[in-house]
């Protein structure tokens, strides 16, 4: 068979020739799919060296199992399935790379430490102090928006104000609140 014939041959024809012992036909199958499978493996394992090893392992399996190829599927699908299974086997064989001290470390605490509790209490106290220093309408808007987490629309509905007015007043209230926080104890 001429080189040009290999280039245009269908995958099924190349598989048939490879099964008859034509190594050039198998080489053309490898050249046709090798780079795409390699890129896929690099994406999954992150290492070009590991991907090259897995690519070689994949094509060894393909060569050894070529007689089990079912032409009712495309060769690419069959090859991809073997590559995927080879990757899964690789991941299962790979030892856990987590350092031993991290494997046996206590899980992160979900409750605050005593220091964090004191800091939060101080922050809450400072916020309440600043809120009390704001005009009443601004304090109410800040509470509703940021502490009670109402949307702008909900606030407008509850206070029976236009949405634009609510947004403007919350903006002004936030600016005053920030100014009071920046000034700190000089409130």
128: tokens are 């309440």
**Of the candidate ranges 76-80, 104-108, 129-133, the one whose mean pLDDT is the lowest:** 104-108
Residue 146: CATH number of its domain: 1.10.10.10
The mean pLDDT value of the chain amounts to 85
Q: What is the mean pLDDT of residues 108-133?
A: 77
In a domain, residue 107? The reply is: no
Instruction: Please report whether residue 22 resides in a domain.
Output: yes
Q: DSSP secondary-structure letter at 160?
A: T
Q: Which of 41, 73, 93 is the last residue of a domain?
A: 93
pLDDT in tens, 171-185: 998 888 888 878 775
In a domain, 101, yes or no: no
CATH number for 73: 1.10.1740.10
Same domain, 78 and 137: no
Per-residue pLDDT reduced to its tens digit, 21-37: 989 999 999 999 999 99
Domain boundaries, position 36: 3-93
Residue 72 lies in a domain: yes
- Give the ranges where 46-162 is alpha helix by DSSP (H): 48-64, 75-93, 100-103, 114-133, 136-142, 152-159
Pair 22, 87 in one domain: yes
Distance CA 3, CA 28 (A): 10
In this prediction the pTM is 0.51
Within this chain, do residues 16 and 78 fall inside the same structural domain, yes or no?
A: yes
Domain count, the chain: 2
């Amino acid at each position: 068979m001429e080189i040009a014939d290999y280039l245009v041959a269908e995958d099924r024809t190349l598989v048939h020739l490879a099964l008859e012992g034509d190594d050039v036909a198998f080489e053309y199958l490898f050249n046709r799919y090798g780079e795409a499978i390699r890129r896929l493996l690099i994406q999954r394992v992150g290492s070009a060296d590991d991907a090259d090893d897995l690519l070689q392992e994949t094509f060894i399996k393909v060569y050894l199992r070529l007689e089990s190829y079912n032409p009712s599927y495309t060769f690419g699908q069959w090859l991809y399935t073997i590559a995927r299974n080879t990757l899964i086997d690789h991941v299962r064989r790979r030892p856990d790379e987590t350092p031993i001290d991290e494997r046996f470390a206590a899980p992160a605490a979900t409750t605050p430490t005593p220091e964090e509790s004191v800091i939060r209490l101080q922050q809450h106290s400072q916020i309440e102090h600043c809120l009390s220093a704001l005009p009443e309408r601004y304090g109410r808007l800040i509470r509703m928006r940021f502490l009670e987490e109402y949307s702008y629309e909900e606030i407008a509905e509850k206070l029976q104000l236009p949405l634009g007015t609510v947004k403007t007043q919350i903006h002004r209230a936030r600016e005053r609140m920030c100014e009071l926080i920046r000034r700190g104890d000089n409130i």
